Amino acid sequence: MQFPPARPYSRLTIILLYGALGGLLIAALQLIEYRWLVLEHSIQIYGGLVAALFAAFGIWLGRRVTGTRERVVVQEVLVPAPSDFTRDERKVAALGLTPRELEILELIASGLSNKEIGERVHVSENTVKTHSSRVFAKLGAQRRTQAVQLGKELRLIP
Amino acid sequence: MQFPPARPYSRLTIILLYGALGGLLIAALQLIEYRWLVLEHSIQIYGGLVAALFAAFGIWLGRRVTGTRERVVVQEVLVPAPSDFTRDERKVAALGLTPRELEILELIASGLSNKEIGERVHVSENTVKTHSSRVFAKLGAQRRTQAVQLGKELRLIP
DNA sequence: GCGGAAATCATCCTTTCGGGTGACGCGCGC
DNA sequence: GCGCGCGTCACCCGAAAGGATGATTTCCGC
């Protein structure tokens, strides 16, 4: 699962908190002066303190409100699977290819002629031609090389 | 042309500027008090002013300094590892296949007829037949499907 | 410049392929 | 039983592919 970047406090809450902290700080500084920091240049000292503290606070607030930008880097990882062939049975069914037709297509892809295929599977060359014609029609191919190319693209044959 | 994200001032410059501005502000506030702001709660007033000003400055500084902050999210996407084909030039040389012949073999593998190949590469069908015949002879193939199969096995074509 | 590799084109001929059509048998489900 | 999908086989015809041979041009290296 994916979570969005966390932003636990709303901007309004932060601003209110900021105001309260500012008031407390001013009061504390005043208290400090009245109690034991009655120096000649105390105004510069706690002026600088206020400046530094609120600048730091502002930096923190600025970072927080700004939020983190995300840059999505798409990294292509090569799946090490060129060898494992699994037939796309959905496409086979969608095209209406029969097992015999797939078998003939595979033998065509292996570079055999119709006659050789016929001898291989013990049917006549004419039968092979019928099968191949049906395969071509179902694949929309005009040539056996085209049928082979389509068959490989569609993951019908290895 | 591509320009990198602008960051016109160095961080050190900003900090020095910040210090100078702080000193000037303190001096200005002191001047103001001595001149015409001799009020009872002037300490709260300009304390708040310093706080607000430096908080705003801090916010601006924080955003500016950390503006380029970004989190790089690596999103891995699976790619079917297709483009890792490198032609086996040693086999090409061993078989004596010319660049043109390889080109024709690739086009044959893509399922085109001789006529279509001729139109594609702007030569006559007869020329394509000559090239393909030489390819078949060099590969020992009797059919184009066989030549394609051999070409893929020998890593001559993708 | 000359020889050779490469690319181009052509012609003739044979083989293979592809499209179309028709037919037969077998198994399976309604 | 009847229809239907599937596998099988045959015939015809045109298109594509393949084999053999010859020729020309261009370019590159010796």
Whether the pLDDT of residue A6 is over 50: the answer is no
Q: Which residue of A has its CA nearest to B113?
A: A143
Report if CB B120 to strand C is under 7 Å. Answer: no
Say what the pLDDT of residue B2 is: 46
The secondary structure element, H or E, covering residue B79 is strand B70-79
Contact: A18, B52; criterion CB under 8 Å: no
B47: number of Cβ within 10 Å:
25
Which residues in chain B are contacts of A68 at CB distance < 8 A?
69-71
CA distance B54 to A56: 9
Q: Is B48 on the interface with A (CB under 8 A)?
A: yes
Contacts of B4 (CB under 8 A, 6+ apart): none
DSSP H helical segments within chain B, as ranges? 11-36, 42-65, 89-95, 99-109, 114-121, 125-139, 144-153
Structure pTM?
Answer: 0.59
Under the banding of pLDDT at 50, 70 and 90, the label for residue A158 is: very high
Mean pLDDT confidence for A152-156: 95
Task: Find the CB nearest B54 among A46, A51, A150.
Answer: A51
Between the ranges A6-10, A70-74, B62-66, B67-71, where is the mean pLDDT highest?
A: A70-74
Q: Which of A3, A30, A50 to mutate against chain B (most B CBs within 10 Å)? A: A50
Under the banding of pLDDT at 50, 70 and 90, the label for residue A84 is: confident
Q: Determine the nucleotide nearest to B133 by Cα–C1' distance.
A: D18
Q: Is A109 on the interface with B (CB under 8 A)?
A: yes
Contact: A57, B57; criterion CB under 8 Å: no
CA distance A48 to A53: 8
Whether the pLDDT of residue B157 is over 70: the answer is yes
| Residue with tokens 């900003």, as numbered in its chain | B14
Say what the pLDDT of residue A105 is: 98
Whether the pLDDT of residue A147 is over 80: the answer is yes
Task: Pick the closest to residue A111 from B147, B15, B107, B124 (CA basis).
Answer: B147
pLDDT tens-digit readout, B50-108: 666 766 666 666 555 655 555 666 666 666 666 688 999 999 999 999 999 999 999 99
pLDDT tens-digit readout, A91-107: 999 999 999 999 999 99
Report if CB B149 to strand C is under 7 Å. Answer: no
Token pair for B147: 């030549």
Whether the pLDDT of residue B129 is over 60: the answer is yes
Mean pLDDT confidence for B37-46: 57
Say what the pLDDT of residue A70 is: 60
Mean pLDDT confidence for A65-76: 61
Tally A–B CB contacts below 8 A: 179
CA distance B38 to B41: 9
Contact: B63, A62; criterion CB under 8 Å: yes
CA distance A111 to A109: 5
Cα-atom radius of gyration of chain A, to the nearest Å?
Answer: 39
CA distance B157 to B151: 6
In DSSP notation, chain A reads: ---PPP--S-HHHHHHHHHHHHHHHHHHHHHHHHHH---TTHHHHHHHHHHHHHHHHHHHHHHHHH--EEEEEEEEEE-S-SS-----HHHHHHHT--HHHHHHHHHHHTT--HHHHHHHHTS-HHHHHHHHHHHHHHHT-SSHHHHHHHHHHTTS--
Tell me the CA–C1' distance in angstroms for A18 and D20. 95
